[in-house]
């Protein structure tokens, strides 16, 4: 039996009861929730779930139902980009589990969600059917509000024959390797500088390998850098922190607190552990 991780992102970060119910629904399927993280400003919650393939597909269905019944994107606003109430649904192979099986699970879950809940899906990462959608940002482009226009220009979901569910939108369902989600605050209110730092560090702009980056303004006017480290073997969190410090220092800005979202592989922290404890 192979084990997988499921890391759903729900477009709800302010109502703890909804997330409590989502956790309960997941654990009723036999899957196990290892971590939950909610952010009111981004209006988003992230769960880290583990289980075998069958239990995780059941968990995906349970989450899609909660999202459809309890989250209405027509009245939703938050900092984070989103196309759906259940916005992102990646399947991640653990240990010796093959990526091909994670791809099959992702596509099966997307099909089952469409058949049972009427929510369409864009497939991304290793599960993508269209090469341009391997990148999550392309699968989720233009947000919930832009889904009808995408449908009209034939940029349609991979699963489902409507532009979007009226209140739940669509889902980006994928298969990928483990990643590290890390937010770092700037000691500055300069959003333009934050966006420039994010652009400098982002892999697709010629920056660090495996780094995806955005910059947001928080409610108290602080600026936050939001990173996904998609290949922590190529760029560790410690290496990213040092590069962010250097990019910010060039602009006369210091870094503030950091925040990990979800769990992080132990191997991603090896160089930081060696340095912190002065190990040889």
Kind and range of the H or E run holding 146: none
What is the pairing mode between strands 32-39 and 44-52?
A: antiparallel
In the numeric block, which tokens belong to residue 126? 């290793």
Catalytic residue selected from 2, 42, 76, 80:
80
In angstroms and rounded to an integer, the radius of gyration of the C-alpha atoms of the chain is 19
In the numeric block, which tokens belong to residue 18? 């909804």
CB 1 within 8 A of CB 229: no
Q: By three-state DSSP, how is residue 233 classified? A: coil
What is the distance between the alpha carbons of residues 71 and 167, in angstroms, rounded to a whole number?
7
What is the distance between the alpha carbons of residues 82 and 99, in angstroms, rounded to a whole number?
25
| DSSP letter, residue 48 | E
Contacts of 74 (CB under 8 A, 6+ apart): 166, 167
**Residue in the block written with tokens 């196990």:** 32
Residues forming beta bridges with residue 225, ordered by sequence position:
184, 215
80 is catalytic: yes
CA dihedral (206, 230, 262, 173) positive or negative: positive
Helical ranges in the chain per DSSP H: 16-27, 53-70, 99-117, 136-139, 147-152, 191-201, 237-249, 270-276
Residues with active-site annotation: 80
């Amino acid at each position: 039996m192979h084990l997988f991780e499921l890391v759903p992102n729900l477009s709800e970060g302010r109502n703890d009861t909804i997330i409590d119910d989502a956790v309960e629904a997941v654990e009723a399927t036999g899957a196990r929730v290892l971590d939950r993280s909610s952010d009111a400003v981004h209006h988003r919650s992230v769960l880290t779930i583990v289980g075998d393939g069958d239990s995780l597909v059941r968990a995906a269905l349970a989450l899609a139902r909660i999202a459809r019944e309890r989250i209405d994107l027509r009245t939703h606003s938050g900092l984070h980009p989103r196309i759906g109430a259940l916005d992102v649904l990646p399947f991640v192979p653990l240990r010796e589990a093959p990526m091909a099986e994670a791809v099959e699970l992702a596509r099966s879950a997307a099909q089952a969600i469409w058949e049972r809940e009427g929510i369409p899906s864009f497939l991304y990462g290793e599960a993508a059917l269209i090469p341009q959608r391997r990148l999550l940002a392309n699968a989720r482009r233009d947000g919930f509000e832009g889904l009808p226009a995408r449908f009209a220009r034939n940029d349609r979901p991979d699963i489902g024959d409507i532009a979007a569910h009226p209140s739940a939108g669509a889902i980006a369902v994928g298969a990928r390797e483990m990643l590290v989600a890390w937010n770092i605050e700037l000691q500055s209110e300069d959003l333009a500088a934050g966006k420039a730092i994010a652009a400098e560090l982002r892999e697709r702009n010629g920056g660090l390998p495996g780094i995806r980056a955005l910059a947001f303004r928080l409610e108290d006017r602080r600026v936050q850098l939001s990173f996904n480290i998609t290949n922590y073997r190529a760029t560790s969190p410690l290496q990213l922190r040092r590069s962010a410090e250097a990019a910010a220092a060039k602009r006369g800005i210091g870094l503030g607190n950091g925040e990990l979202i979800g769990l992080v592989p132990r191997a991603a922290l090896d160089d930081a552990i060696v340095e912190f404890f002065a190990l040889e």
